[in-house]
Amino acid sequence: MVERRMSVATHWGSFTAVVDSGRLVRIEPRGDDPAPSPIGPGMVTAADDSARVLRPAVRKGWLNGLPRAHDTARGADAFVEVSWDRAITLVSDELRRVRSQHGDSAVFGGSYGWASAGGFHQAQGQLHRFLALGGGYTDSRNTYSTAALEVILPHVIGGHSWSYQSRMPMWDEIAENCELVVAFGGLALKNSQINPGGLARHQTQDLQRQCHEAGVRFVNVSPIRSDTAGFLDAEWLPVIPNTDTAAMLGIAHTMLVNGWHDEDFLRRCCIGFDRFAAYLVGELDGIPKDAAWAAKITGIGREAITDLARRLTSQRSLIMVNYAVQRADHGEQPIWMSVVLAAMAGSMGRPGCGWGAGYATMDATGVARGRASVATVPAVANPVADFIPVARIADTLLDPGKTIDYDGQRLTLPELRLIYWCGGNPFHHHQDLHRLARAWQTPDTVVVHEAWWNTTAKFADIVLPVATTLERDDFAAGFSDPHLVAMPKVREPAGESRTDHHIFTALASRLGYEQEFTESRSEIEWVRHLYEQTRTKLGDDATLPGFDDFWRSSTAELPALTGPFPGSFEDLRSDPQRFPLPTPSGRIEIFSEEIDSFGYDDCAGHPTWFEPVEWLRADLSDRFPLHLISNQPASRLHSQYDNGGHSLNSKIRGREPMTINPLDAASRGIQDGMIVRVYNDRGSCLAGAVLSDDVMPGVVQLSTGAWWDPVQPGLSGTLDRHGNPNVLTGDRPCSRLSQGPSAHSALVDVELYGGPLPDVLAFTPPNLEH
């Protein structure tokens, strides 16, 4: 046996693939990665499993000319396998028809999703280039992960939606300078195994350990104790989900009335504190937002709130806020309020202290302020101006022509007749999957590129099989990771699979713009071209080897970014006149005149406590007394590789594990390992019970990403056999400002499942005819 060892790069790290005679034998961690993700080795299980899409397939009812609009067979119909030539003809003809009859805006190419690592074979980039050259498409804006944050922060601290990543303290600075970290939503280490676009080595775990060894104390304000690593010895303050804003207000009130707040920084570097203070002390509504008020809402003791206020203002402190807290009703508020609280505490703009968001959510967050620019496939301007907020896809399909608010604008939702999805899984990301399934019946045609028969593929009309990251040539350039990692093709594509680029090249040829799309380069020529472009652009700042040497050595190091980084809070503190922020006032906007002018009843001009629609103090909790936390999984990235070995090994009798507090389990007769039914008025799913006091009473935790497996796909509300929490979450916007998702505002109940246990069919292909 002659084994070859080849470089592999993924969103969950870099690995070595061991190949024998073209067969993938195993995937091993790189020797220089101190915390390799177990997702990587599990990819082998999925490479040739029965769920692979091996040939182009067309839904039988669509192919036979049954009514295309409002056809209720999507998700339940059989498929007919066809030749590539016929598949390309069907897709190109349908694109022509929809564009000519309904206009370019009737084509939806928002196609949200992480896709897979690789600078050239980036699925959405390829799709957007193809559709823009063909006339344009309706796009989507923001992300399911951080929509509320992306919209609110530019109003409060200025800059683009992700500029805060380079403006907040890095872990090494925290270790050197900070004494106290208060983490709202925690900083779950499991999330840091991921980094968009790839990474060479995981560093977050070691950096957190350095902070602990340096004496930094951590406070975890979260419903889940394990949202901080055990080695941090964090103080846990269990908080009722969706009440972080109230907790912060109570801390802020305590600072204010005791005179502990940083009056100098608030006066010189912020605007609107006087108006916010009036709200805080109750001048506007007669309700002081004091520690006692906050304690009743949050479940955190009054003394603990007062103590946090004292410690935050008497020590060198850092307030962290994680992304999970803003995926909820009024999710903009905890983000905005966390900035205000940091400004009051006295450490804003001091080394290693102040404020930051998303720590441990991705490995590079807090590790580096960015990386040198890497060349990408040239984007093509989209001729269509229409867009929708990313989480409003079901609204758009169900109610075209409806007008909604978004960040001071009025948007009219377009009529979408063709959906083209590539590199994502809306039946994972979106909330209220039964509502999405109903909405998904409305367009004429749904085209999907997929490697596996997941739910999105089963709900398509035309499924085109695509090569995986192991089956194509590329190189990875991860978010803020200072490395390029070679990604040579490890194996040939399964069945008749082709790369996204290959498919779009064939379609562009039929539609008359192949030359414009490919620029006369092959795929490997594009990869080489982008690498050499990067090398040329960096010039003397880098010592990147030539492409052939890079391809052999597998890794190249990019030069470190040295700044300046616009919008620095340290610069603001030192001289706000010389270093203004890119906000209307040049300062931190505690009160935003712009947001106030929008007149929204669910997002005022300053941080405000709004009662969530669904939470443990709502009347609905009489019927559904448990708050569902549908956080990110430890065993996969979103729904990617749910069919991989690591995710499959995490299942309980084939179902997604659900963690429940022993007190809540005992009152329901539930024991560890039992199969339970989780339910509310929107739907129900099966899950495997895990009893742990890591979750506070009144809370259950069921991670996202299990492939939706409805017993009767055409029946709204039908039982999900597998454990996808988005059959339970509400498809309701955070507010009129961001229109972001509110997945973490969901109430449920749990009971023992007493019926015959149905087989899980999530990884079983639909009926295929030839």
Catalytic residues: 112, 114
Q: Is 767 exposed, middle or buried (0-12, 13-18, 19+ CB in 10 A)?
A: exposed
In whole angstroms, give the CA distance from residue 535 to residue 542: 7
Amino acid at 228: T
67 secondary structure, DSSP code: -
DSSP state of 181: E
A 10 A CB-CB count for 553 gives: 11
Q: Which two tokens mark 597?
A: 């002018």
| Number of neighbouring beta carbons within 10 Å of residue 66 | 12
HSE-CB at 644 with a 13 A cutoff on CA atoms is: 23
CA distance 4 to 179: 49
Of the candidates 427, 434, 419, the one whose C-alpha atom is nearest the C-alpha of residue 684 is: 434
CB of 471 closer than 8 Å to CB of 489: yes
**CA atoms of 331 and 112, how far apart (whole Å):** 20
Task: Classify burial at 545, counting beta carbons within 10 Å of its beta carbon; exposed 0-12, middle 13-18, buried 19 or more.
Answer: middle
Q: Does residue 186 contact residue 224 with C-beta atoms inside 8 Å? A: yes
Element containing residue 98 per DSSP (H, E): helix 84-102
Q: How far is CA 154 from CA 151, 183, 586, 737, in A?
A: 6, 22, 12, 12
Amino acid found at 162: W
Report d(CA 658, CA 67) in Å as an integer: 40
- Return d(Cα 476, Cα 204) in angstroms, integer: 19
C-alpha span between 283 and 566 (Å, rounded): 37
Burial (Cβ within 10 Å: 0-12, 13-18, ≥19) of residue 512: exposed
DSSP 528-570: HHHHHHHHHHHGGG--PPPHHHHHHH-EEEPPPP----TT-HH
What is the Cα–Cα distance from 705 to 639, expressed in whole angstroms? 4
